[in-house]
């Protein structure tokens, strides 16, 4: 090992523990051993054969180019067709513990053979990366109860999430580009480094693919944090036939924007697929269940919803706090957060003659960013040009929309303050919801509403 090489590598090794160093180097030695125990380097074909089906061919080639870009011997050293243990070690350390500049240099080589990349190349890289994340999570039984069968079209979701992440990339001038102009523009290493800093999800995806695809660093702190933020635990229980409106890429994106303690577990509270189209059923399953995520699809196929950071209560006042947000999931994926203009975060009411009856988030009475009428099946998303509370655009295809499907997820563990209360039925605890059911002739539905913990009997 030369002095220059030793110096670069030793600086990087200071970022990992001796056990992690041994894990990385053992992983490379195992890759070499598959093909030829006497060789200390790998070409692309040997690298791909050694990995086998752990990664797609497209992603394994991108990773190989990323490893190849590491230069432990100094800038003057010519690139070789094979990768060494030193390059492999540098690559893994940079992916897990590197700066944005170091990760950016690797990412550019994974995207292109030149020092500048186009938006189109970044888009294709992101689609390959997101597909690889889903693939390695599935192969390693790390989807935590989710499956491709229990979610919406993953291929479409992959392209939409890639477009969302690409939208955060800015050219050297800093201007915001759209559509074909964004795809056709060129981006420098400094632009890519800045993007990786502002879009941390890309780094999480890279770590996940490298860690699971190459089977290393699984004991690292990053692995535990990444797995918790990527995919929440989902227990199917008696909802095994349920198919979510969300796809896996949008689940990962939305989960990453939730408070940390709400990322670990989602519990299905309500779905029109299971519980029918009823505002009383929605309220019966929603009230007193803690923070939640509401997702709906309108009759034109648009998917959108909102995050409620606090427990829903039936009352004629606004509730919630500034952690609430609205989102769109299809055809565009985006999050719309608190503006500070007003505190109209959440609203749930029924049985009032002088106040609106229904569920709303953002905006104001009769002009909500998201509204579901108590006459279930109808709603609106009014934002001209934006919702005052969340700065969201119109979320639905039409301002006044018809609900095609709706689902609600409880997030995290049920707060202790609500656990004792929920030993009784929500209907017993909240007379307003009981009165609501009586008005709609459903006073004996409580037995169906009490099975909210059905999914607690099954481990993922």
Check: CB of residue 204 under 8 Å from CB of residue 129. no
For 292-341, the three-class secondary structure string (H helix, E strand, C coil) is EEEEEEECCCCEEEEEECCCCCCEEEEECCCCCEEEEEECCCEEEECCCC
Q: Where are the domains of the chain?
A: 3-228, 261-457
CA 403 to chain centre: 24
pLDDT at 442: 45
Kindly write down the DSSP assignment for every residue of 141-178, as one continuous string. Answer: T-STT--STTSS-HHHHHHHHHHHHHTT---TT-----
User: Diameter of the chain by CA atoms?
Assistant: 83
| CA pair distance 460, 456, nearest whole angstrom | 10
Phi, psi of 293 (to 5 degrees): -120, 120
Q: Which CATH superfamily is domain 3-228 in?
A: EF-hand (1.10.238.10)
- pLDDT by position in tens, the chain (length 460): 444 446 888 899 999 999 999 999 999 998 988 765 567 889 999 999 999 999 999 999 999 999 999 987 665 555 678 999 999 999 999 999 999 999 999 999 999 988 889 999 999 999 999 999 999 999 999 999 999 998 999 999 999 999 999 999 999 988 989 999 999 999 999 999 999 999 999 999 999 999 999 999 888 777 777 877 899 999 776 666 789 999 999 999 999 999 999 999 999 999 999 999 999 999 999 999 999 999 999 999 999 999 999 999 999 999 999 999 999 999 999 999 999 999 999 999 987 777 889 999 999 999 999 999 999 899 999 998 999 999 999 999 999 999 999 999 999 987 776 676 666 544 454 444 455 545 444 444 334 334 444 444 333 3
Q: Is the pTM of this model over 0.85?
A: yes
| CA pair distance 205, 164, nearest whole angstrom | 14
């Amino acid at each position: 090992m030369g002095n220059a090489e030793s110096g670069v590598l030793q600086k990087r090794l200071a970022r990992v523990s001796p056990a992690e160093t041994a894990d990385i180097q053992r992983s490379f030695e195992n890759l070499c051993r598959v093909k030829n125990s006497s060789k200390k380097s790998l070409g692309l074909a040997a690298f791909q054969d050694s990995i086998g089906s752990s990664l797609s061919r497209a992603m394994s080639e991108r990773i190989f180019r990323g490893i190849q870009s590491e230069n432990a011997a100094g800038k003057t050293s010519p690139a070789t067709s094979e990768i060494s243990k030193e390059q492999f070690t540098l690559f893994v350390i940079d992916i897990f513990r590197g700066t944005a500049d170091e990760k950016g240099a690797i990412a550019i080589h994974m995207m292109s053979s030149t020092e500048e990349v186009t938006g189109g190349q970044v888009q294709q890289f992101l689609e390959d990366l997101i597909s690889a994340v889903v693939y390695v999570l599935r192969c390693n039984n790390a989807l935590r109860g989710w499956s491709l069968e229990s979610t919406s079209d993953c291929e479409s979701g992959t392209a939409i999430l890639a477009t969302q992440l690409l939208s955060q990339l800015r050219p050297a001038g800093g201007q915001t580009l759209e559509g074909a102009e964004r795809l056709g523009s060129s981006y420098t290493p400094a632009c890519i480094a800045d993007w990786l800093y502002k879009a941390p999800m890309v780094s999480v995806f890279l770590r996940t693919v490298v860690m699971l695809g190459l089977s290393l660093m699984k004991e690292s702190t990053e692995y535990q944090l990444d797995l918790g933020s990527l995919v929440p635990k989902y227990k199917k229980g008696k909802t095994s036939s349920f198919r979510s409106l969300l796809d896996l890429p949008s689940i990962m994106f939305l989960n990453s924007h939730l408070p940390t303690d709400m990322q670990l577990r989602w519990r299905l509270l309500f779905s029109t697929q299971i519980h029918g189209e009823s505002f009383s059923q929605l309220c019966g399953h929603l009230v007193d269940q803690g923070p939640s995520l509401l997702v709906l699809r309108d009759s034109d196929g648009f998917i959108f919803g909102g995050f409620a950071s606090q427990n829903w209560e039936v009352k004629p006042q606004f509730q919630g706090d500034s952690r609430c947000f609205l989102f769109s999931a299809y055809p565009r994926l985006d999050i719309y957060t608190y503006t500070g203009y007003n505190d109209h975060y959440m609203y749930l009411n029924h049985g009032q003659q002088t106040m609106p009856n229904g569920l709303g988030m953002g905006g104001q009475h009769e002009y909500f960013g998201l509204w579901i009428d108590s006459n279930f099946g109808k709603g609106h998303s009014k934002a001209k040009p934006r919702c005052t509370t969340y700065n969201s655009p119109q979320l639905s295809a039409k301002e006044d929309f018809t609900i095609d499907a709706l689902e609600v997820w409880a997030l995290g563990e049920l707060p202790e303050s609500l656990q004792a209360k929920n030993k009784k039925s929500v209907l017993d605890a909240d007379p307003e919801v009981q009165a609501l059911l009586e008005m709609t002739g459903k006073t004996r539905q409580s037995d169906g509403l009490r099975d909210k913990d059905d999914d607690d009997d099954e481990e993922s």
